[in-house]
Each structure stands twice: as C-alpha cells, then as structure tokens.
Structure 1
C-alpha cells in the first residue's frame, strides 16, 4: 500500500510540471491508480448497524428492520416486517397523513420535525426522522428509507417541574386542583383574575364556591362523574364570581391517579368565554332580528314557523300566518324624512306587539311589511279576529316629532295546515292574500281561502251588527222558569239573552254568542244582561210582584277579581238583594287557576249570591276539585236528559250526577226536560227542579210575570203533594 501511495505522489508531481496532452495522460494514470487504491483499501465499519433504519413500501408497511431499530423500539425484525408503521404511533395521533410518507409528496429527501413514537413497552419517546425515497432503476419510487434517532432529554426532572409550574401559573386559563376529598389545594393567578377569589379565600373550600345554581341535577352528576374518574369531561358551565356575577366558562375536568391507580387529585382548566358569548349573541341578533325595530326578521320567523308546523302535524292543531302591509309610510318618509318614518315603524311594531299574546310571533319583513305567526288558534276564524284587531290598532294617530301621523294597513291571512304544510308555501299564500287585499276597495283583510273569506265576512258582519244592537236597544231578556219537582211551583228562572234584529228577526244565541266570546264583546253583553236583569227585578218589585231568584249566566271572561265589586255596584244601583240573583257558570271556568277562582266564588257567596254549575258533565273539570268549589246548584245538561228513561248510559250518568250532588248537599236542576217520562224518572232519582219545554220555553218578561201572578204550576200527576 505504501508503494502505491508513493507512485500516486510521483504522478501528481509530474502532472504539475506538464501541460497539454502530456498532463492529461498523467492525470488519467493517477485516476486509475486512485481507483485501484480505493478498491484495495479495507471497508470502513458500517454505522448502519447501530442506527435505527427501516424501509417502508409506498403505503407505509415495513419491509426491512435493522438491529438499531430493534434496540430503539424494542420490536424484532420478525415482529415488524409486514406491520404498518402506525404501530409505532401514539394512540392519540390519529390516522391522518403519515410523517414517514411526507417525502413522497415533497418528491425527494426531507428531514421531519421532532415526533413522538411508542416503543414495544408502551413508553413514548421523542425521535428525529430522516427520510429518503427509494427509487428503482427507472427512477420510480418504490418505497421509503427511514432513519430514526432518539432525542435526548433537554431538561432535568427538576427543570421540568419548575417549567411546568411556571406554565401553569402564567397560563391565561384558570387552573383549579382538588384533592380526593374535593377540597381545593391549588389555584393559579388566572383563577383569581377570573373569579375574584384570592388563594386564602379558595384553598380548603370545595368547587361549590363557584356554583351558580343554574344547572340541573343531571348536569351536575355528569361533572361529578368526571371528577370521580369516569373520563375527562369538556363543556360549558355557568359559574359565579365572588361579586355574584354569573359568567360562562369553557371547562375541562380530569382525574389524576396515583401509582396504585387511585384518584388522588382532580384538575380543572377553565376559560372565561363571556366575550365570545357576547359576540355570538350579537351575531345571532344580527342574523335573526330586525335592526330597526328589534323584532324577529324573516329568518327567525321561518325557523319558528317551521317548528310550529312540525308540532301542528303531530297534535293536529291549527295555526295561521298574517301578513300586514302598512300604507302611507312612503309619503311620511318623503315629506318628513326617514328618521320620522323609522320612528313610526318602531311605534307600529310596539302597538302590534302589545295587541298579541305572548306566544304569538311578530316579525318585521322588508320595507313596510310585518308578519304575525299565530302558532296556535282554537278555530281558523280566530285568525281573522286577530288580524282585524291588529289593523284597528293602526287607526289611532301616531305622534312623532310633534306631528300627528295617520297610517292604515291591509292584511293577508293563510291558515295551516289547510293552506300549506311548509313555510315557503304559507308565506307565498299570505303574500297572495295580501296583494288581493291591497287591491280590494271593500276588504281590509282577506284569507287565502275563499271559503274562509266568506266565513270571515259573516263573522265580521255579526260582530258589527252586534255592536250596533247594544247601542240601538235591540237586545232583550227572555226568562225560562225553573219548576220544583216537589210542588210543581215556579221557584226561579234563567235570564236568557235574545237579539231582535231589525231585518232578520230573532237571532239565535248560538250564532252571536260565540262571536261575542271570540271578539271580547261578551264583556259588554254580560254587563248588559246583569244590568237589565236587576232593572227588571226592580220593576217587578215596584209592581208588588214577589219574584223568585233570577239566574244570570257569566262568561269565563267576566270572571276576574273585580267581578264582585262590579256586581255589588249594579245591585246597589237598583236596590236588589244578592239573594235575588243567582250566577250560572260553566265547567270551562273551573279548569283555570283553581285558587284564584275559588277566592272569587267565596267572595260572591259571602255576599249572599247562589252559584250554579251549568251544563255539568260536558266539560273536563275534575270531580276531586268540584268539592272545593262553593257551588250551591248543579245543572244536568240536556244532552244527558234527552235519552231518559230509555238510554241506559244517560240513565247511569243522570243517576251518578244526582247521587253526587246529594252527597255534596247541592240542589239539582235538570235542563231540557220535554216529556212526562223524563220528568218522572228525574223525580224518582231525587232531582229537585226541572227547566224545559215540558213546562215552558223561554218567554218575555211580561209573560213570565203573568205566570207568577196566575200561579201557573207543573202537573205532577198522582205524585203531586197536597197544596
């Protein structure tokens, strides 16, 4: 070898002294000699036997695995060949792009960042990967060559402990650590900043220190389960600061176990997300509410109406969409400016909202349009009543910037599910009805359905004429006698409202009473009936006619806390004694708030007035509640009297009502008695009084007075007791 090196040195010196072709020839000899020298030199030791080296195919399966890889990861070559490289990945690293295949995407050699890998023993280690594509003779990639080198720890355990403590203390997140007894043992400065509690105020306490009381027991149970080792919990909690302010927080709760696997501590990381929530609320408001009026916009209306349609399909209920267009706003804007017209729009929104129920949805659409979603209505006709009421709220002038401004409106109504089963269809149909209404000279509102239009027109006609009837004296009272089944004598009468129409004659109460109930006119009618009954009693008394008690029907709408005062005022005005008036109510009243109703009833009874429960058995009142109400009389509805004494079910119901009333010491009146057989059956049961065509239909006041003067009696046959 020494001789070869000396020859290489000589050739090098000769080449330095030559030039041209001679120099080229000498360099060729030198290159040939160096090649021979390289071949003759012993091979250097291969460090690859110490480095972790693996080869992968194009999808990540191990094809080669050397001794260094076995020493680093603990797996033998036999164990790893044919395995996917994901075997070395930590459990929480997912199944995304493989670091070992990144070089393929880059088209060549790449050195990755530091990564974590799992050894056969389960230990997680940090390694640096050097990656290189493996190419075949044609230059096509056939796999990957990976060299892995373990990274040495750069921090001592003490340094790590100090660093971790510093990170916790300086973190923007609040840190709360509790022991196994759920006592707070450590907090950081962010905890104090967020909650307001200093360490001396928090340490030794439980996390209930921050409890807001907002969350239910089920929610708290899930959080406590995480504290007891059921797994990490992440979510949002409403907490309470030291000053009592509630705040939203994003929280992660995990348990810490000791070497025996027992829970020694629980740590909570939390952030104050008030700012995020406020921003989210602002975005939600911008997306769902009208910026000018603050009312829901079309987007929110669509959502709520969609939910209502789903509920309506399930419960088979009715609802409606009313679209209202305001007139003359354009003129106001052109004359007085946008600010004035905008203020008018806001005031319109306030008026409309005030006229609706809380459950109804009022939205402002584009321009001068509003929409009202009536999510639940008892009858389809009610939508027309509401629309009429809304339009009526626009009649009074709006006072804005010292101007008295008048607007008007038109309404289009569509009813679901009849007119449509989806939101877009309902909105389209409401717009069609609205467009027709705006072009109509007569109608201020129109239904999409022509049938509903006709019914609405009839409804509004009755309402308008009924209001005139109150003013023009077209109303009168008829009296239907109540007769004792013991003596056959008249022992009372029920005052029944009648309407003598100037064109149509007597209008059936079944036609106008429902309209009065729906429109609120029943309050005026009820006041008129009580006033007229007391006036008539006073007139009869002045004529020295001894009158039995007169029963007056009350609507549930009249039954409020001021009712006793109103009745007392009427009685005093006509010098009528309370015992001369009985009040008849229906079962629908009893299903309302029982406590409030009982208090009013007790006040009326204390005045000396009798209370009768009309149409008993047709409603839904609970018999358990019935004994709590101070009812003096039960009236058996005529629907249970018609089949007596032949219909078995009617007989059983009548018998049960009579027996129950007797147990409750209540007087029993049977309505609608038309035959002697019905009378005899009821009398045999122990019924006290009857009311019906068998004795008399309702008659005018003069005819009823004549019956009393003449002593008209019911013929009871052989069972009639002596006079």
Structure 2
C-alpha cells in the first residue's frame, strides 16, 4: 500500500504545473516540508511519524535495560519483551566500545554513537544521556534518548537537532561571544546556577566566580576561553544566592572559516552530590564511626609522614598504646549503649588532655593509640601518659551509673625503638601488655633504659610535690660583690632541696622536671613568697638588706605576674627596690607585643629587671634596645676560660662594651679565680658573683657576712 504522504507529494507536483507566482511558491514550500518529513522517517506508518515518541531507553547503574518505549522498538526493531532485562551492550555496533552511558563526568552527556538494529543494520545516532536519582539524591540509573542520524540529514535539521539536545541536556551550557559576553544558556544552566537567561545574557562568566581560586588557576581557564586549547577540570562556582558549589567543567571554542574565534562554550555539571559522597567515603575510610577519632589507617598515614620528617631533621617522637581496665565487664553488665557512650566520653577526655598536633586514634574495642609526633625529650611521653591516666580519675556518670575505669599504657619512642609505624605500635602494645599483666594502672616504656628514666622522672615529680607540702625546700643566697669597692651589693636567691633520704638534690635535676610538669609555677610562687618573707625578717632584725634577685621562669611570666608580685610585696610591707627579677633570654623571643607590656608594668612598680645567662641564647642588640632591662649577667660558660681563652675574652669584651653603651649594669657569674676577676674589672665589669668570694649561703650565714661588712680583696692576684 503506497504511503499517503507520497500520494500527497505527487498531487502537489501536479498542482504546481498549473500555478505561478505566490501560489506556486506556497505549493513548493508545502512539497519541501512533505519531502523532508518523508526523509526523516521513511519507514513511518501511514498514521505518520508524529505518533511515535522519541526513542527512550532506561537502564540501571550496571547498564541493564529497565525501560523500552515504542520509539525504541521502532528504531531498533526489538519488542519490549526482547529488550527488557538485557544489557545495553547488545545494541552496540562494536563489542570493544566502552559503555559510554556509565561515564557521565567525561565533559559531555551528549554524543554521537554507532548502534546495531535487530536486522543487523548499523547506524549513527545522537545520544542524550540523563542520570536518574532516588529520593536521597543518589544516582539510581540512566535515561538514554536517541535520534537516528541519517545520511540525508540537512544542515538545518542538524542545527535544529543539536539545539534540542543542548536545551534538553542535564548539564549546564554557557556560550560566550568573542568579547566573553554570555550570548546563550540552556535550561540546566538556570537550574544549577539560579540565573535565568535574561539575567545572564550580556554578562560575563564572572557572575559565577567564587573567589576560591588563585590567579594562576583563573589564567588557565581564561586561556582556554581564548583558544589555547580545550580545558577540563573542577571549579568552585557560585550560585545566584551566593552558595558555593563544585562543578566539573569543559571549556572549548568555536572558530570560523578564517580560524578566528567567534564563540567559547562551557559545559558543566554540579558535582556536589558526588563530592559529598566522596567525603563520606573518605571519612569512613579514615575515622572511627563511633568516636569520630582517626582510625588505624589514618594514624599510620600521619605517623609515616612524621617519621619521614624526623629522619631528615633528627626529631623525636613517641607512640602510646592504651587499653582500658574493666571495660568488658561494663559492657557485659550494662549493654552496648552504655559502652558506646562511655567510649565517646573517654575519647573526649583524652582529646582534651592532648595538644592539637598530637594524634589520638581508636585502634579497636577498648584500645587507643596516641602519636606524639614532635617532643623535645623522650621523657615527655611519660608525662603525657600520666596525664591521660589522670584524666580517667573522675568517674563517668552515664544513665545513672557512676562508672570508674582505669588503663594501662605502653610507650615506644623513636628513633631509639624503631622508625616504622607498625614497629612502634607493636612495641608500645608489648609494653602495655606487661603493665596489664601486673594488674596495676600505669605506664611502661618498651626500652628498659627509658623505663628506668621515666620511673626516675615520676619519682622526682612525686617527691617534689611532697617537698613543697612538707617544707623540704630552702633558699640560699649567693652574694654579688662590687668590683669597685669589694662590698656586698646584692644577692641571688637560689633554690635548694634537701631530701630526707637522698640529701641535697641538684637544681639541675629537679628544676627541669618542675618545668616539664608545670610544678615550676608552684615553685616560683614559693620562691617569691619565701624571699620576701626573709627580706622582711632581716629588716625587722635591723639588717641593711641589699637587693635580692629571684629567678622568674618563662612560664611564670604572664599578664598576672605584676599583680602577684605586688600582692606579695604588699603582704610583707616591702619597698620594690629590694627585689630584682632575673629572666632568661628565651623569654624575650616570645614576641615583644606579649612581653613588653608586662615588663613595663613591673618597672613602673619600681622593680629592676636583670637578663640572666646572657650570650647563651638569642643575644641581640635589637631586643636589648626594646626591653627595659637594667642589668646584664655574663654567663659562667664565658667566664671559665678567662683570661687565657681567646674566644671567651672576645665574647666577654663584646658583652661589656654593649652593656656600657646601653648604660646597663654588668654582673659576671661563676668567677672563681683572681685572674678572672682582674680581667673583668679591667674590662669595666660592675659586679661579680662566684666562689672567689662565696658560694650560695643559708640565710644566717649571708646575714653575718652583710653585718660584718665582709669585702672582696681587689688587689691583683
């Protein structure tokens, strides 16, 4: 049976012979339309092609066909029963071709592909691919819409087809002219960015600029828009409402017959969902789902990086493995909800105990690990372990249950115990096991030597606390002598500890322990109080007391120091000129903005400031000009070699010259011989302090020397 449209075309041709002018042109136009319709669908039924929908195929995420409409049946020749359930690969013309439908982020979801019909005929088709999402916004499948590209498709038809594909694309499309002004956008552009076509056309793509990228990155994108070559990448864009969003973008240009750029176009997709999913997957891969702490995988990554740096810089660190006591019995008795809450609470206490740069990890069950990636001394790991144990002292109140829990901790240090993360974890866990087997709460180092040192450190800390409470501490006073008169013109109060069993303990041993444990704050307060009490006692006894200097730790030097000093002076009714504060150079590099205001307050109160151990740290004329320091003390390490060691002589001479130029008093420490004294006096040094005149003395002996007016013989030895 002949096609009705063919009969209509024949009738139009016959009529055209009898017409002329406008009527002829109208008839020829109708004929052209009829022929075009026939060309586009030569196999259409007598009812006409318009009755058939566009071929549409629905697939799941693996490419298996779940939907097959009448248009697809007409295009391929397969019925729905034959197609449903098959993989879309059976329609491919080439079995080695990739499943294009599976890759939406290759820069375009519109492509030309080759397909095979049931008859075996191979044809070209224009494929528009769209992702389908479930209620949670996650990809659930794909919809492929196809149009056969016939050999006879005219340029006009191609343009019409491409325009339809662009408009229906799931990706945003933006076209600019040679002056980078937007001339066209599609519906997806509006849906993704919030800008309508009317709002975007005439503007530049800068309306989408987020400000998140540096100038080099923006230059790459602009270069692609100016014809340097296609560019594909990820960009952070900005919607009309100001929200930032990640997008996958492809940029290219269109050239005319003379190779001049006429337009540039960008095809982009909002990849927020994919980035969020990626972040969730990354978090699950690296963090414990219950506590939110890093898991063993992330711990290993971070520790491996730190070990690489430590090898290069000869750094120190430690790995702690901790296991909880009585945890299993709590779980067996109270259930998993109480167990989970307890683990979260314990994690929070541990995290609050550590520095930000320390890594706290939950290994499994009731085991945690702590990586101390940068420590000054290996013994510091023991201090951290003790703090972690102390954080468990207070009970945990959960669902009306008052729960107490302890822990055992093992410690491995690097580089001594190893330079591999797995090795450190294994050694630390081995040490922890030894603690656990002892049945006691505590910590232990893997190395026997380190373990002994840690025990000694812990003993000193415990005994030092006891010494403060039981008045085992004393102040001795080392005289400072004028190199002009030989008279005692001052003294330095030095801390002494007489242990009931060990006797006198060297400050070189217990002061560093006090610094590391924070006990230095209590010691400093005790020294200030005791020195002022002793000065008051001497004054009440009628002694003409010279200024007494006390050492101030950098940890004491805070905004509250002036008020603390004022309170003690006021308590003992002492004038501030009787008290001098000695500070170390390390304090001065903390930043002038932090230190100068405190110094100025102290000086304004009438106190004098001395810089102790000058030359051993960060000696700089620059900061000496800034800080209100009245006295420089030459460190004993530069005095020992005088007057024979050339370098020591040069350093001492430079320090004295500098101090004289700044009109500062100069005190030399550790002077033991007359040769040293003579050399320093000739340089112009003001005072000496050392065994040549006197060691540090108990209060009564110092008082006697002052009352008797003892002098240093200044004749040359």
TM-score by length of structure 1 reads 0.76
Which of these residues, 208, 212, 215, is aligned with residue 213 of structure 2? Answer: 215
The answer to whether 1:371 aligns with 2:363 is no
- Radius of gyration: which is bigger? 1
Cα separation, partners in 2 of 1:282 and 1:579, compared to 1, 3 Å: same
What's the offset of the Cα at 1:705?
1.6
CA separation of 1:255/1:708 partners in 2, compared to 1, >3 Å: closer, same or farther?
Answer: farther
- SS of residue matched to 2:555: helix
Q: Distance in 2 between matches of 1:216 and 1:201?
A: 27
- Note closer, same or farther for the CA distance 1:406–1:186 as it changes in structure 2 (3 Å cut): same
Aligned to 1:138: none
In structure 1, the gaps of 5 or more residues are 1-95, 99-108, 117-150
**Alpha-carbon distance between aligned partners in 2 of 1:178 and 1:667, rounded to the nearest angstrom:** 76
- Alpha-carbon separation, structure 1, partners of 2:195 and 2:150: 42
Which aligned pairs between 1:9-88 and structure 2 lie closer than 5 A?
A: none
Q: Give the superposition deviation at 1:622.
A: 4.8
For residue 632 of structure 2, the aligned residue among 634, 650, 657 is 634
Quote the offset at 1:546 in angstroms. 2.3
Structure 2, unpaired ranges of 5+: 1-95, 99-118, 127-148
Match of 1:289 in 2: 287
Instruction: State how far apart, in whole Å, the 2-side matches of 1:198 and 1:442 are.
Output: 71
The equivalent residue for 1:358 is 356
Shift of 1:282: 1.0
The answer (yes or no) to whether the contact 2:532–2:572 under 8 Å persists in 1 is: yes
Q: Provide the rounded CA distance (Å) in 2 between the counterparts of 1:615 and 1:212.
A: 54
1:383 to 377, 381, 384: 381
The alignment partner of 2:233 has SS state of strand
**2:174 is equivalent to residue 176 of structure 1:** yes
Indicate the SS of the match to 1:290.
coil
The answer on whether the counterparts of 1:588 and 1:621 sit within 8 Å (CA) in structure 2 is: no
User: In terms of mean alpha carbon deviation, does 702-711 or 255-264 score higher?
Assistant: 255-264
Displacement of 1:112 after TM fit?
Answer: 5.5
Deviation per CA, 1:101-138, whole angstroms, max 9, x where unpaired? xxxxxxxx98755599xxxxxxxxxxxxxxxxxxxxxx
TM-score, with structure 2 as normaliser: 0.77
CA distance in 1, matches of 2:560, 2:261: 65
Answer whether contact 2:408 2:440 (CA < 8 A) is retained: no
Residue number in structure 2 paired with 1:702: 700
Query: How many angstroms does 1:396 deviate by?
Result: 1.1
Q: Indicate if the aligned counterparts of 2:407 and 2:441 stay in contact, CA closer than 8 A.
A: no
Which of 667, 674, 680 is the aligned partner of 1:669? 667
Q: Given the superposition, is the C-alpha separation of residues 115 and 249 from structure 1 closer, same or farther in structure 2, using an over 3 Å criterion?
A: closer
Distance 2:202 2:626 in 1: 54
CA contact (8 A) 1:325 1:368 kept: yes
Partner of 1:320: 318
Distance 2:240 2:643 in 1: 76
Change (3 A) 1:160 1:337: same
Q: What is the alpha-carbon root mean square deviation over aligned residues?
A: 2.4
How far the C-alpha of 1:581 sits from its partner, in A, is 1.9
Q: State yes or no: 1:425 paired with 2:423.
A: yes
CA distance in 1: counterparts of 2:455 and 2:328, whole angstroms: 30
SS of residue paired to 1:421: coil
Q: Output the CA distance in 2 between the equivalents of 1:688 and 1:264.
A: 85
- Which residue of 1 is the match for residue 653 of structure 2? 655
SS of the counterpart of 2:713? Answer: coil
Q: 1:662 to 1:161 in 2, by over 3 A?
A: farther
Q: Distance in 1 between matches of 2:161 and 2:228?
A: 29
- Structure 1 residues 712, 335: closer, same or farther in 2, change over 3 A? same
1:699 aligns to what SS in structure 2?
Answer: coil
Aligned to 1:593: 591
CA contact (8 A) 2:674 2:716 kept: no
Q: In structure 1, what is the equivalent of residue 234 of structure 2? A: 236
Cα distance in 2, alignment partners of residues 203 and 114 from structure 1 = 34
* Alignment match, 2:518: 520
Match of 1:478 in 2: 476
CA distance in 2, matches of 1:539, 1:204: 89
Within 2, Cα distance between the matches of 1:666 and 1:491? 16
Indicate conservation of the 8 Å contact 1:183/1:205, yes or no.
yes
